[in-house]
A and B are shown apart, each in its own frame.
Chain A
Amino acid sequence: MNWITVSWPMVAAACLTLGLIELHIGLAQRQQRAARFLFALSACAMAAACGLELALIQVDTIAHAEVLLSLLRVTIGVVLAALMAFVWSYFGAGNRWLALAFACLYLIGVVGELMPGPFNSFHTTITGLRTDEVFRGATFTMLDREFSIWYAFPYLATLTMIAFVADASIRLWRRGEHRRALLIGGSITIFLLVAGVQAALVLANKINMPYMLSWCYLAILVAMATDLSADALAATKLAEQLRESERSMDLAGAAADLGMWAWNISDGRIWATARARALFGFSAAETLSMDNFVNALHPDDRELRRRTIERALATGDDYEVEFRVPLAEDRTRWISSRGRFERGAKGELLGIRAVVLDVSARRGAEVELQRLHSQLAHASRVSMMGQLASALAHELSQPLGAILRNTEAAELFLQHDSPDLGELQEILADIRQDNKRAGDVIQRMRALLKRRDFDPRALSLGGVLDNVSRLTRNEAFTRRTQVEFDECIEPWVVMGDSVQLQQVLLNLVINAMDAVDDLPVDRRKVSVRTQHRGAGEIEVAVTDSGPGIAPQSLARLFEPFFTTKPSGLGIGLTISRTIIEAHGGRIWAESGVGEGATVRFTLPLADEAIAS
């Protein structure tokens, strides 16, 4: 045991250690993975070369020495090639011609030496071994050799490699990465120079020492370790900054009541801020996946969210969706979520990043507004009922009158000696039918008065027109106005709430009657027409023969509380519009001064499937 047998394995161990560290980093991290692997390869190969050097120091036969030398040549080749590829990859710069020249020159050198005798007259031969040479108090073996031309090639290759590294370092320097260019480029250049010169001197027997290529490699190890530790320090600093900014983000998020979450597609995990977790009702420790998120949603809203995200995925835009999260005690929280897709360099989806906001208060206000609307609609219906009460009374008096007449007739029949029983039976059947008619009238009145939520169903437009025609007949009579309803020939079916649609139509017809009130009786005309407009739409138009609407009023007609009538509330058309829009239609007014006004609205026709 001497210092040589101790120190060479130490160098090998150092190479191996750093190689393994780089390998580990390369496996764990996507960034610069190739460079890490290449450096690990170079370091491990150098560890092997180190072992070969040690074996060569202690070799005792020429045959062994020849084998070891060949192996060393190949191993060093691997070290250099891997190192060059590392520089190319790590620096992101390199001259391909120099690289190619290096590879060719080195290969020529190695292959030339390995070629068997008959084809290779320039074979290097070991002529003798000089053991017991003493270097710094330790003995080692020196080789006596005759040189061949092939020996020059690895040196030439090393020169091209120095040029390559220098070139790459300069390019890196120009890109502003001074530290790395100087440290790594410099260390590799030093390694190449020192190792090359030392090997050449040993080869030429100019100095009395063994090959120490692996020792020269230590320069690179030091440089790489420095680089690595600098990276590690920077990473720590970054992590600290990250925590800092995360805290700021949390603060900002808390101040704005925003929660944030991010979904990483590769591991399926979801990272979420404390606020986001609180919004969805997750505990701080819970590990989250997309399933957790979806399950936290109100079942009715999951499909909407899925569709929104799919649509956004197709267009590549950010998505925005509102959904409910059920809480305890039947309460729900409304959450607005805005998300963005994270994509990799090739456009592949990496995950989703989103902010979530509690919008329950706003939603609550909307619901309240809707409730007020519904109340207002109810109020206007009730006021309209005042106008229409007599119409309903008239309608009721028809069946009631008929019942009375039939009863009276029956009484008279029964006073006869032989009453006609067939006739009496007919009378009773008629009474029953009129009774039902009266019941229907009451039912209709009740439906009109009842306050309900929007309840769309397939219904015949003709039926709606018919009802309104009947309800307005009385009003038309009293006001001596001619109201014409289109015979609704086509069996058009729309999706909607019949009471609400009747309300709209009633409102429009009564407005139209108001408009013609000041005209002479023979010119008071109101008409209700329907027409198919294509694209699955039906249009209903209420036209009057009145003075028309002034342009400045026309624009404001549907505004709440805008009215042209002395006693008007200005809510009728506003409510009509709310109702029509809820049905997926549009409503507008047309008028030229002096030529009467027309209010039109459209309704989408129900699908054929629903209609049947």
Chain B
Amino acid sequence: MNANSPVVHVVDDDVSYLVATTRLLNAAGYTVRTFASADELLASLGDCAGCVVTDLRMPGMDGLLLQQALLGRANVLPVIFLSGQGDIPATVRAMQQGAEDFLTKTTPKEQLFEAIDRAFARDAVERTDRLRRSELQARFGTLTPRELGVLRQVLEGKLNKQIAAELGITERTVKLHRTAIYSKLESRSVAELTRLAQAAGLIDQRQKDFPKG
């Protein structure tokens, strides 16, 4: 199996439905892997791209718990829920946890395909994001602890003088650290540094606004 081609992971304790869905998805040209329970999926989930189509109600670990478990994994696959019938509290929880879609088992195939395609697209985007972020994080990883401390102050918008006073070092040393930071992170301005730090998940939107006040 090509690691790059996305796979639909179908989880359902009802064998009949599992088989039927697999048939349909195969016929529609999807690559499918089937799992009779959430545990089975979690046990054999690799770095495979794609999405998860899961039954909401299953004995043992149900769909919502599976979704939570996936969120803790490195490979966060988008989840599409299938349930017997509309269940508002469960739908709300699922969507809050970032579900791609919430369908009933008797949804027409077109809706299912659309949801899967959307999930694939989302997975692709998120996968690229994750890739970039991990690259950035690797770059940030090369900074020494002192450089990281200086960077934090810089991102807060402080001047070299202020940083020197804060850290108890000379202004000249602060400048040396900043130069090292710019070269290691391959950036030229504070604005770019801020963008990179955001992309790497080091700071969030609110923190960026905070120093301005």
A residues bordering B, Cβ < 8 Å?
390, 393-406, 408-409, 412-413, 423, 427, 430, 433-434, 437, 473-474, 477-478
**What B residues does A478 contact at CB under 8 A?**
87, 89-90
Segment with Cβ contacts to A, from B22-30, B67-75, B159-167, B187-195: B22-30
How far, in angstroms, from A437 to B14 measured CA to CA in the complex? Answer: 12
Q: A393-B85, A412-B28 are in contact. Are A402 and B16 (CB under 8 A)?
A: yes
**What A residues does B62 contact at CB under 8 A?**
477
Among A390, A409, A433, A473, contact of B23 (Cβ-Cβ < 8 Å):
A409
| A433–B16 CB distance below 8 A | yes
CB distance from B57 to the nearest CB of A (A): 5
A-B contact pairs, 17 of them (CB 8 A): A394-B84, A394-B85, A396-B84, A398-B14, A398-B84, A398-B105, A400-B105, A401-B17, A401-B106, A404-B20, A404-B105, A405-B20, A405-B23, A406-B24, A412-B27, A433-B16, A434-B20
Q: A406-B20, A406-B23 are in contact. Are A477 and B105 (CB under 8 A)?
A: no
Which chain B residue has the least Cβ–Cβ distance from A419?
B27
| A473–B57 CB distance below 8 A | yes
How far, in angstroms, from A405 to B21 measured CA to CA in the complex? Answer: 5
Within 8 A of A (CB), among B1-60: 14, 16-17, 19-21, 23-24, 26-28, 56-57, 59
**What A residues does B56 contact at CB under 8 A?**
477
How far, in angstroms, from A412 to B112 measured CA to CA in the complex? Answer: 15
Q: A393-B84, A412-B28 are in contact. Are A398 and B16 (CB under 8 A)?
A: yes
| A405–B57 CB distance below 8 A | no
**What A residues does B108 contact at CB under 8 A?**
404, 408
Other A-B contacts than A397-B104, A409-B27, A412-B28, 7 sampled, CB-CB below 8 A, are A390-B84, A394-B84, A398-B105, A400-B105, A402-B17, A404-B20, A405-B109
Within 8 A of A (CB), among B64-102: 82-85, 87, 89-90
Which chain B residue has the least Cβ–Cβ distance from A485?
B59
Give the one of B21, B56, B82, B89 with max A CB within 10 A: B21
**What B residues does A404 contact at CB under 8 A?**
20, 105-106, 108-109
| B89–A408 CB distance below 8 A | no
**What B residues does A401 contact at CB under 8 A?**
17, 20, 82, 104-106
Among A390, A405, A412, A477, contact of B17 (Cβ-Cβ < 8 Å):
A405
B residues bordering A, Cβ < 8 Å?
14, 16-17, 19-21, 23-24, 26-28, 56-57, 59, 62, 82-85, 87, 89-90, 104-106, 108-109
| B16–A397 CB distance below 8 A | no
Which chain B residue has the least Cβ–Cβ distance from A393?
B85
Which chain A residue has the least Cβ–Cβ distance from B55?
A398
Q: A401-B106, A405-B23, A405-B24 are in contact. Are A390 and B59 (CB under 8 A)?
A: no
CB distance from A238 to the nearest CB of B (A): 86
Give the one of A399, A400, A405 with max B CB within 10 A: A405
Among A390, A398, A408, A434, contact of B24 (Cβ-Cβ < 8 Å):
A408
**What B residues does A403 contact at CB under 8 A?**
20
| A434–B23 CB distance below 8 A | no
The 4 closest A-B pairs by CB, nearest first: A401-B105, A394-B84, A405-B20, A412-B27
CB distance from A395 to the nearest CB of B (A): 7
Which chain B residue has the least Cβ–Cβ distance from A433?
B16
How far, in angstroms, from A474 to B19 measured CA to CA in the complex? Answer: 23
How far, in angstroms, from A437 to B20 measured CA to CA in the complex? Answer: 15
How far, in angstroms, from A473 to B90 measured CA to CA in the complex? Answer: 15
| A409–B20 CB distance below 8 A | yes
How far, in angstroms, from A413 to B87 measured CA to CA in the complex? Answer: 33
CB distance from B73 to the nearest CB of A (A): 22
Q: A390-B85, A478-B89 are in contact. Are A408 and B16 (CB under 8 A)?
A: no
How far, in angstroms, from A427 to B23 measured CA to CA in the complex? Answer: 9
**What A residues does B21 contact at CB under 8 A?**
402, 405
How far, in angstroms, from A403 to B117 measured CA to CA in the complex? Answer: 23
CB distance from A426 to the nearest CB of B (A): 9
**What A residues does B82 contact at CB under 8 A?**
401
CB distance from B141 to the nearest CB of A (A): 37
How far, in angstroms, from A413 to B106 measured CA to CA in the complex? Answer: 20
**What B residues does A405 contact at CB under 8 A?**
17, 20-21, 23-24, 109
**What B residues does A477 contact at CB under 8 A?**
56-57, 62, 90
How far, in angstroms, from A556 to B20 measured CA to CA in the complex? Answer: 52
How far, in angstroms, from A396 to B84 measured CA to CA in the complex? Answer: 8
How far, in angstroms, from A401 to B81 measured CA to CA in the complex? Answer: 14
How far, in angstroms, from A406 to B56 measured CA to CA in the complex? Answer: 20
How far, in angstroms, from A433 to B15 measured CA to CA in the complex? Answer: 12
How far, in angstroms, from A404 to B23 measured CA to CA in the complex? Answer: 11
How far, in angstroms, from A280 to B120 measured CA to CA in the complex? Answer: 86
Q: A394-B84, A413-B27 are in contact. Are A430 and B89 (CB under 8 A)?
A: no
